[in-house]
């Protein structure tokens, strides 16, 4: 399978080699529920690191950052 993945923010093709993503991206996924207007819809998107930085710069309160204990 030679899937082409693109950043949803800037549309840039993400670096893939042999089907493996060669850059780290933000993966957003949400299944909307009953108390939303999108009940039953699953929304997902990818953001490259630059677009992720851009997105979090618009947040009033920055994301919670913790250190991963296992890598």
Q: Provide the binding-site residues for Zn ion, judged by CB under 5 A.
A: 7, 9-10, 48, 51
Shortest approach of Zn ion to residue 7 CB, angstroms? 3
Distance of CA 2 to the CA centre of its chain: 20
Using the minimum distance from each CB to Zn ion, give the nearer residue, 10 or 21.
10
State the DSSP string of 24-39: --EEEEEE--TTSTTT
> Whole-number minimum distance, CB 12 to Zn ion, in Å?
5
Which of 9, 16 has the CB closer to Zn ion?
9
Residue 21 near residue 47, CB atoms below 8 Å: no
């Amino acid at each position: 399978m030679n899937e082409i993945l693109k950043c949803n923010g800037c549309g840039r093709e993400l670096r893939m080699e042999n089907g493996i993503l060669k850059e780290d991206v933000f993966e957003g996924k949400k299944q909307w529920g009953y108390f939303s207007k999108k009940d039953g819809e699953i929304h997902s998107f990818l953001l490259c690191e630059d677009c992720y930085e851009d997105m979090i710069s618009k947040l009033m309160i920055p994301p919670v950052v913790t250190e991963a204990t296992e890598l």
